[in-house]
Amino acid sequence: MMREDAEARSIGWSELLPFLPLFRGFRMAIDVRKLVLATAAVVVLYLGGRLLDWLTPVGQRVVVSAAGITEPRVFVSSGLHPTAVREWIESTQKAEGATRRGVFAVLMDEWRGTLVDFTSAALSLSPRGVVNALVRALGLKLWLGVMHPIYALFFVLGVWLPVWALAGGAICRIAALQATRDERVSIAAAVDFSRRKFWSFVTVPLLPVGIILVIAVLLAIGGLIGAIPGFGTLVAPLLWFLAMAGGILIAIIAIGLVLATPLMYPTIAVEGSDAYDGMSRSLSYVGQHVWRTALYYGVAMVYGSVCYVFVKLVARVGLFATHFFVGLTMNMGSASGPAGSTVPHKLNAFWQAPALDFSNPFYGALPHASVAGVSRIGQFLISAWVYLAFAAVAGWLLSYYHSASTLAYLLLRRDEDATDLDEVWVEEDAEPAAPSQPAPAPTAAPSTPGSLASLPVVGPAATTDPPLP
């Protein structure tokens, strides 16, 4: 009786607050397997982006003004107008103090600032701030594609998509089995799944983009017809409703793409399907349950922002403690740092501690102090470990993103198809056992003294020989 009452209360709460499973996101995100995959992906993305920056000619790098204003910031603030950016570049690069930086380096700084704005807006429950941060994030992607298309092509197709097809697909697969069956799958098995579904993970976000490009090309062809003197001037206005229909269709697909993108990888990971199913299911669930989607996304963003602040706090305090206690003895007997400092100067030359008053980044600062000999190697190694700590925090954020997206997909699937949250595609579902040859049912032999004992038979008999006498 008590068990039935507990189940009734559980069912009641799940119906009243359908988003409750989303609060499993933090615990799922700190799973070591997901953190390892996400951190490794962040490191590979960073190295790939830095390599592309190094290979990019200086004249094609991003212009940064003396005041620190960058191209993407101008692009977003001007309403996504490339002409305004080009005019700003022409005027800025002639000014004193203007520099050029790598595309990835600038993009990473802008993304970090956007993430800070997004987190602050989510914690303050400001829908306008959240929307502004999301629009800015979208603007950064558009800036990359419009102002630096060659770089975007190499980075997206050569680095971003392959890395996240493997790592993101594996993380979603781990999250899917964990959320549905509470099953632990190894990193090797998860990566093997994403490897087998590699092209599905790569192409699923490209399918809607391809549809948009096809419609855009058709509209451009219509524009060419309208450019024909006489004939085009008459025909184009008559068929203008087709152009407007194409524009509206592009808008619908683009908005659906933004809302459905977080669900595409989980669809493939949960259902074991292909890219088309990942796109169609995601768009269908979002279209059929817009308000439920907004609710789930909103809860996941607010909760994720709180958890992200907590993770950064743990990292800040941990790195501060590391710097403080190691610094007490690391440079004993040598010159100390500034007056009043309790930390030896040697460690400060390698790495400056994060401040507990939040006046600097959570990982501290890495000064470019001039050191020589073995000290240079030590500075490099400490910097590498600090960067790895930064990558681990970023990895947690990406792990949470994929975990929360998987939970949101399971909830939307339940809302649309009435599918239980514990249903997931597993390997044996795709490989049923081959049917055996039909055989007549064996006849039970009478039990006699000295005869062999009959063993229970499971399934159809393996032989058609008559029973023993």
Q: In a structure prediction context, what are the per-residue pLDDT tens digits for the chain, which is 469 residues long?
A: 455 555 555 556 667 788 899 999 999 999 999 999 999 999 999 999 999 999 999 888 998 988 888 999 999 988 888 898 898 988 888 777 888 999 999 999 999 999 999 999 999 888 899 999 999 999 999 999 999 999 999 999 999 999 999 999 999 999 999 999 999 999 999 999 999 999 999 999 999 999 999 999 999 998 888 888 877 788 888 888 999 999 999 999 999 999 999 999 999 999 999 999 999 999 999 999 999 999 999 999 999 999 999 999 999 999 999 998 988 888 665 554 444 444 446 788 888 889 998 888 898 888 766 666 787 888 889 999 999 999 999 999 999 999 999 999 999 999 999 889 999 998 765 444 444 455 455 444 444 444 434 444 444 444 444 443 3
State the pLDDT at residue 347.
82
Is 457 part of any domain?
no
Q: How many helices (H) and strands (E) does the chain have?
A: 19, 2
**Residues 142 and 205 placed together within one structural domain of the fold:** yes
Q: What is the pLDDT of residue 261?
A: 94
* 438 domain residue, yes or no: no
Query: What gap in Å lies between CA 69 and CA 73, rounded to an integer?
Result: 7
Which segments of 331-469 does DSSP mark as H helices, in order?
345-350, 374-417, 427-430
**Two structure tokens written together for 193:** 């799944």
Indicate the number of domains in the chain.
2
Distances in Å between the alpha carbon of 449 and those of 206, 446, 452, 453, 468?
A: 74, 10, 9, 10, 14
137 found inside a domain: yes
What 3-state class would DSSP assign to 335? coil
Please tell me whether residues 218 and 75 are part of one structural domain.
no
* 2 within some domain: no
The helix or strand, by DSSP H or E, that contains position 192, with its residue range, turns out to be helix 187-196
43 and 69 together in one domain: no
Distance CA 431, CA 38 (A): 30
326 in any annotated domain: yes
Is residue 465 assigned to a domain? no
C-alpha distances out from residue 469 to 82, 120, 444, 447, 460, Å? 92, 83, 10, 10, 21
- The range of the structural domain enclosing residue 84 comes to 62-101
Q: Are residues 78 and 212 in the same domain?
A: no
Residues 112 and 71 in one domain: no
Closest Cα to residue 265, out of 398, 420, 151, 118?
Answer: 398
Same domain, 93 and 150: no
Given 410, 425, 440, the domain boundary residue is: 425
- Paired tokens of 395: 């990895």
The pLDDT assigned to 237 comes to 85
Q: Are residues 130 and 37 in the same domain?
A: yes
467 belongs to a structural domain: no
CB atoms within 10 A of CB 115: 16
Q: Please tell me whether residues 82 and 32 are part of one structural domain.
A: no
Among candidate residues 53, 84, 101, the one where a domain is terminated = 101
Q: Yes or no: say if 352 and 309 are a contact pair by the CB < 8 Å rule.
A: no
Angle at which helices 161-181 and 374-417 cross, to 10°: 60
Among the candidates 101, 129, 151, a domain finishes at: 101
Are 37 and 88 in the same domain? Answer: no
From residue 303, alpha-carbon distances to 123, 265, 406 in Å are 9, 21, 15
Confidence at residue 218, expressed as pLDDT on a 0 to 100 scale = 92
Q: What is the DSSP letter of 100?
A: E
Alpha carbon distance 133, 118 (integer Å): 5
255, 260, 297 from 405: Cα distances, Å: 17, 10, 8
| Measured distance CA(236)–CA(34) in Å, rounded | 54
Task: Give the Cα separation of 432 and 17 in Å (integer).
Answer: 38
Q: Are 365 and 380 part of one and the same domain? A: yes
* The predicted structure's pLDDT at residue 460: 43
Whether 109 and 245 map to the same domain: the answer is yes
Q: What is the pTM of this model?
A: 0.83
Do 194 and 106 reside in the same domain of the chain?
Answer: yes
pLDDT at site 370: 66
- Residue 41 has what pLDDT? 97
Rounded Cα gap, residues 33 and 167, in angstroms: 11
Q: Is 153 a member of any domain? A: yes
Q: What is the pLDDT of residue 342?
A: 46
